[in-house]
Structure 1
Amino acid sequence: MSSKSSEAFRPFRSTSPSVWGDAFLNYDKEDLGEVEQIVEELKEHVRKDIAASLDNPKEHANLLKQIDAIQRLGISYYFEEEIANALQYVYEAYGDDWNGGSTSIWFRLLRQQGIYVSCDTFNKYKDQHGAFKETLTNDVEEMLELYEATCLRVQGEVVLDEALDFTRAHLADIAMDPVRCNSTLSAHIQETLETPLHKRVPRLEALSYIRFYEKQASHDQSLLKLAKLGFNLLQSLYKSELSQVSKWWKGIDVLKNLPYVRDRIVESYFWAFGIYSDPKYSLARVFLAKVIQMATIIDDTYDAYATYEELEIFTEAVERWSITSLDGLPKYMKFVYKVLLDLYQEMEPIMEIEEITPLFNRSKEFMIEFIKGYMVEAKWVNEGRIPTTDEHASIAFTTGGGSLLISSCYLGMGDIITSESIKWAMSEPPLFKASSTIGRLLNDIVCYKRSEEIRDLPSIVECYMKQHEMSEEEVIEFVRKQIEDVWKDINRESLVCNHIPRSLMMVVVNSARILYFIYAHKDNFSEVGEDAKNQIDSCFIHAML
């Protein structure tokens, strides 16, 4: 293909149309004033409950359970300060010697908050021979909590590695034992083993947990009502944002101007929503959704449509980043190029107001590096060679878009972006690469067959199979082990980077979570599956009753 650029040799991948059509194009604002008033009253009631529990040491175990419920119900953004203060108080009062209730919940909540508590406390669950006590298996709830706690481990925490193996094996057996658990508990255990809490997208967990929580006899009625009303208030905001991005996308008219591009604006917004769902990040969500769809345009242009010669001149034009570079580009590439420049030009004055122009400029540089990385991949494909695993790694994580997307996440988040955090983000920290690695490795596992059908860089699976003469099954198992190790790296980095606001840390953690949701089993971005479609329906269409 390197010497022929005629239309006869142009690659072309047909894409499935959007399953949403214009469902989110128009939004009629709802009058939710009465709901907002009830929410304010419920919030005040919950704040008093938290304060009362904090003042009574005998209630500290229940306090942690209450905080866990608040977080899982998706209403922690109402109580950020109260939760942070309560968990810091608990840590200062007990240190690493918590003895007030479930050690697993205590450990998980504090580590989620960025407090680096020791894992040595779990050695008390072992017998004199160093094995985990079999009596633990008598308490299924605590076994599940211990399993969830192990997912916050970092490299070198052997006791948690052992606890993971112990709980995973026993819980799998219990789930299959009709004497020990009914069908509801069995399904809950299997769902937890498949996707532990630490890997779940927070809003999707809220959607699921609200339904689970209301079935529990011990549920707090105020929390449940607040969760449902808060869910509906947020849904109204999300509909408004979806209308904004849908109108932007409608104006681009991809079917007419770029028919080879995947129309995934709703999925792009869902991706952004998975990273941060708090109402105060509305501007950031809208911009990030556009960046994700823009990256999709670039991906499809390089992998599924442009000739090699066209890609060379387009890449050179992007490096110049100027409207004067339109000359010499094919008509469709002029359109792509202008959409790209317009996207960033639209955001520039807002970034000046927020005083984060340096980060905005670095984000543009990440976009240029992202596109240059695609050119390197195109060169390898054009030469018909499979890169070594090291060569693949050297470029694949750039084209995985981690630094581009995460730096873009921070644009529009407001005054939480400090000068120190700007410097940190601009340095392309290890946490960025770790999150990007999760997405790239998962994508390579579920999509590697696709490279046989279209012009695409061979996946890491193919590279390992060729270089190390491993079978497909061996490589996939090996790569999944790598993914687990990267999760440990994410956990550690989010604990040691305590000079960065926790909200910025969680953007990166949630980025890994949404990537896990999208790519864990299939490519739910290119071809949205029924489960993913139902989740989007529930988040953006159906109110919580």
Structure 2
Amino acid sequence: MLVQGGSEGLHRRRLKEVRHLLEKVEKGSLESLVMVDALQRLGIAYHFEEEIKSILHEHLLISTFDGYPGNISLYEASLRFRLLRQEGYFMPADIFEGFMTKEKSTVGYVFDLKLWKDIFGLMSMYEASHLGIQGEDILDEAADFSKRALILSVANDIKGTSSQILKELVSNTLSNPFHKSLPRFTSKSVQGYFAWPYEWTGAFGELAISDTNLVQSINQIEIRQISKWWSDLGLAKELKFARDQPMKWYMWPMAILPDPKLSQERQDLTKAIAMIYIIDDIFDVYGSLDELTLFAQAINRWECNEELPNYMKACFRALDDIINDVSFNVFEKHGWNPTDLIRKSWARLCDAFLVEARWFTSRHSPLADEYLKNAIVSSGVHIVMDENQEGHDGSYLDYYMKENPSCSLKGARDHMKEMISDAWKSLNKEFLFPDPFSPSLVRISLNTARMVPLMYDYDENHHLQRIEEYMKSVLHV
């Protein structure tokens, strides 16, 4: 890490202290689960992967051989379920049946109404419900039940000496369930989780502060390097119509690849993301259809056609340089050259952009599914977001409502929410059953999905308030 010696020494001592605390805790206890949860929420779990695996393996053995005894709390059962699934262990969802009761009516089994008083248990169950896969209806019921109960608990003014903190915790849980959030953006809002009388809470908090400062220093160095690269590249002057947002582009890799050791990978990915935005703007707001067709052909052949206008030539040369640099870095580190694969990926992207450009030029309104299929390539992570840019790429919401004129705006949005929920369940399934994908690729996919709401959470002034606040308060930019 590129930090001052004193800070690095203090950080090492705090790491050693927390590691000692993890080693002496009883592996199969509730406290050990709470420790793992705390490490993850504070964004420092990556330092203790082996210790966490050891703790969770013990809980896996307990669950496998002992099951869930009748006296286990909802909080502990839900927390163990979530942490084990997050580690990639498939825990059966039927553990929640133990918290249901059969009503006298024909409704069947429902969650016990006595649980309404168990605020921490409800929050834990709500968090756990977000790790469901298709067909796990009980987790859908757990999400609905716990959400309704928690909303009512806030509305009815939770009583107690820590009621305000508890309200904030409930609101944060409902807004930012851990599985769908990024610790770097939410760690400041979890201090209340560690108000329990455990001796290690202070040490964990001190390490989190120290780690944040060290990681922040690395991020700031990377930002300066990216800013210099972008300025030297000169595309902002050449393509005045295109977005000029290097800090925003860097936020994607910072979230997707949080490990401090992946500095080069973050910078390479930022450069690729910058070109995605730039080329998107060329297709979306500036180029004529004839020019765009020539550009897509040039990308497919990977030849800078002399017929291309100068701004497209500049873009092609910049993209070619980036691909060559990235390929060299990959070859140097992993021993294989991905140039052809990367070029083919860019060709697919530009072909998808061209399809959208032809739709707009011909005033063709595609079917919603047709738009979505193309958008999987052209828009990637925001395929189901209604980002009202000033370009011409349309949105899934618009096309769905045109195709279904009797559907209300609320109905269309509910349909999109259901699609997002199904997509998360598919991601969860890949995480639990990763073959043929590597666990690291699945984690990157999860982080990308977690970043989407932040990167498309525009306010009424079309500002990304949460991202901008983060850049100012944490990165000081």
Same fold (TM over 0.5): yes
Structure 1 partner of 2:7: 35
- What amino acid sits opposite 2:412 in the alignment? V
Alignment partner of 1:342 is 2:321: yes
Q: CA RMSD in A?
A: 2.3
For 2:156 and 2:458, the matched residues in 1 are separated by 29
SS at match of 2:267: helix
State the Cα deviation string for residues 8-33 of structure 1 (Å, max 9, x = none). xxxxxxxxxxxxxxxxxxxxx97521
- What amino acid sits opposite 2:179 in the alignment? H
Structure 2 partner of 1:228: 209
Structure 1: gaps spanning 5 or more residues: 1-28, 402-435
Structure 1 partner of 2:16: 44
Alignment partner of 1:468 is 2:404: yes
Alignment partner of 1:539 is 2:474: yes
Structure 2 partner of 1:316: 297
Structure 1 partner of 2:31: 62
- What amino acid sits opposite 2:291 in the alignment? E
Cα pair distance change 1:273/1:212, threshold 3 Å: farther
Structure 2 partner of 1:503: 440
Structure 2 partner of 1:119: 93
Shift of 1:213: 5.5
Shift of 1:527: 4.6
Contact 2:129 2:142 in 1 (8 A): yes
Shift of 1:530: 2.9
State the Cα deviation string for residues 14-61 of structure 1 (Å, max 9, x = none). xxxxxxxxxxxxxxx975211211222222222222222245x4xx21
Structure 2 partner of 1:186: 167
- Among 383, 398, 403, the alignment partner of 1:440 is 383
Contact 1:144 1:167 in 2 (8 A): yes
Shift of 1:501: 4.5
For 1:522 and 1:530, the matched residues in 2 are separated by 7
- What amino acid sits opposite 1:475 in the alignment? A
- What amino acid sits opposite 2:22 in the alignment? I
Contact 1:351 1:360 in 2 (8 A): no
- Among 106, 111, 114, the alignment partner of 2:80 is 106
Highest RCO, 1 vs 2 (Cα 8 Å, sep ≥ 6): 1
- What amino acid sits opposite 1:103 in the alignment? A
- What amino acid sits opposite 1:40 in the alignment? R
Structure 1 partner of 2:464: 529
Shift of 1:239: 0.6
Structure 2 partner of 1:289: 270
Shift of 1:457: 2.8
Single out whichever of 172-181 and 129-138 deviates more from structure 2: 172-181
- Tell me the percent identity: 29
Structure 2: gaps spanning 5 or more residues: 104-108
Structure 1 partner of 2:114: 135
Shift of 1:484: 1.0
SS at match of 1:279: coil
Shift of 1:368: 1.4
**What are the equivalent positions in structure 2 for 1:219-368 lying under 5 Å apart?**
220-322=201-303, 325-355=304-334, 357=336, 359=338, 361-368=340-347
Cα pair distance change 1:179/1:164, threshold 3 Å: closer
Contact 1:153 1:160 in 2 (8 A): yes
- What amino acid sits opposite 2:473 in the alignment? S
SS at match of 2:300: helix
Structure 2 partner of 1:81: 50
Contact 2:165 2:192 in 1 (8 A): no
SS at match of 1:95: helix
Contact 1:315 1:375 in 2 (8 A): yes
Cα pair distance change 1:313/1:166, threshold 3 Å: same
State the Cα deviation string for residues 35-89 of structure 1 (Å, max 9, x = none). 211222222222222222245x4xx211111011011111111111221232123
